């Protein structure tokens, strides 16, 4: 009589306790994070309402505070912003660099640029912002100076191209910061089909592998990559 072989139970995958598998910052936690933010300038709140009503992409106040804090941390005086829309994050940068600082605004839509110009004047930072209407990558490729910060928020399929342009245009110790690097969670898909997700996945992989940067992705809002130029 043949003996039945005992089948061993599959081993459970060990998950380190320093990874909070059951915890995310969506839903009530996200509501809490936004609820404790200090009150903002009335113009910024107006811009937030306009963006929500007209579906204009902005980083929002939680991420904007991170951007401003990072700029203040390295005493940034020059910021090149790639993809500025109505100028919401531009204002946070301009406030961070101070009266003698300079922020370059770029956007392909002249109507966005005109609206942004009005906001800059009302907030009192117009003299710190240089507006460029047109292709942001073409503009960056023409720059000879090295910035303290380059902020990347262009069309997502262009992210890998931006990475190739930035190192020579960012000073050592400067920051290369990129929005939307978690892409509403689509980066976790096993076989993404859309070009935007594929481009972001390629960008994230290349950024972490780059010897020019020391990189961390912060899982705030839609993911913020902060890369120190080394």
Determine, yes or no, domain membership for 21: no
Number of domains forming the structure of the chain: 1
Instruction: Kindly tell me if the per-residue pLDDT of 145 is higher than 70.
Output: yes
Instruction: Kindly tell me if the per-residue pLDDT of 6 is higher than 60.
Output: no
Top-confidence residue, 187 or 1: 187
Which CATH number covers residue 115? 3.40.50.150
Question: Which residue range forms the structural domain that includes residue 134?
Answer: 27-229
Determine, yes or no, domain membership for 14: no
Determine, yes or no, domain membership for 4: no
Determine, yes or no, domain membership for 18: no
Average pLDDT over residues 90-118: 98
Determine, yes or no, domain membership for 10: no
Q: Which phi and psi angles does 67 have, rounded to 5°?
A: -60, -45
Determine, yes or no, domain membership for 140: yes
Q: What is the pLDDT of residue 12?
A: 67
Determine, yes or no, domain membership for 16: no
Q: What is the pLDDT of residue 10?
A: 62
Average pLDDT over residues 43-52: 98
Average predicted confidence (pLDDT) for the chain: 94
Give the side-chain half-sphere CA count within 13 A for 21.
5
Instruction: Kindly tell me if the per-residue pLDDT of 74 is higher than 90.
Output: yes
- Of 194, 196, 201, 204, give the one whose Cα is nearest residue 226: 204
Determine, yes or no, domain membership for 93: yes
Return d(Cα 73, Cα 178) in angstroms, integer: 17
- Cα dihedral 189, 193, 198, 199 sign: negative
**Neighbouring residues of 89: CB distance < 8 A, sequence distance ≥ 6:** 58, 59, 63, 64, 67, 81, 151, 153
Instruction: Kindly tell me if the per-residue pLDDT of 69 is higher than 90.
Output: yes
Instruction: Kindly tell me if the per-residue pLDDT of 223 is higher than 60.
Output: yes
Q: What is the pLDDT of residue 37?
A: 97
Question: Could you report the per-residue pLDDT of 154-211, keeping only the tens digit for each?
Answer: 999 999 999 999 999 999 999 999 999 999 999 999 999 999 999 999 999 999 999 9
How would residue 25 be classed by pLDDT, with cut points 50, 70 and 90? Answer: confident
Return d(Cα 80, Cα 130) in angstroms, integer: 10
Q: What is the pLDDT of residue 8?
A: 59
């Amino acid at each position: 009589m043949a003996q039945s072989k005992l089948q061993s139970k599959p081993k459970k995958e060990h998950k380190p306790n320093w990874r909070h598998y059951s915890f995310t910052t969506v839903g009530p936690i996200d509501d809490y994070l936004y609820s404790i933010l200090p009150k903002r300038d009335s113009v910024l709140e107006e811009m937030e309402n306009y963006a929500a009503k007209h579906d204009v992409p902005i980083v929002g106040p939680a991420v904007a505070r991170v951007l401003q804090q990072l700029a203040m941390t390295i005493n940034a005086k020059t910021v090149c912003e790639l993809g500025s829309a109505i100028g919401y994050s531009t204002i946070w940068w301009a406030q961070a660099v101070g009266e003698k600082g300079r922020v370059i605004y770029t956007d392909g839509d002249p109507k966005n640029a005109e609206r942004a110009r009005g906001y800059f004047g009302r907030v009192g930072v117009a003299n710190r912002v240089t507006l460029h209407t047109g292709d942001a990558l073409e503009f960056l490729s023409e720059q000879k100076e090295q910035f303290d910060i380059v902020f990347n928020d262009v069309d997502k399929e262009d992210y890998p191209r931006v990475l190739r342009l930035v190192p020579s245009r960012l000073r050592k110790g400067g920051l290369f910061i990129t929005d939307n690097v978690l892409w509403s969670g689509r980066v976790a898909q096993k076989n993404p089909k859309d070009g935007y997700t594929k481009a972001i996945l390629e960008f994230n992989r290349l950024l972490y592998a780059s010897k020019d940067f020391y990189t961390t992705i912060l899982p705030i809002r839609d993911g913020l990559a902060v890369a120190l130029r080394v």
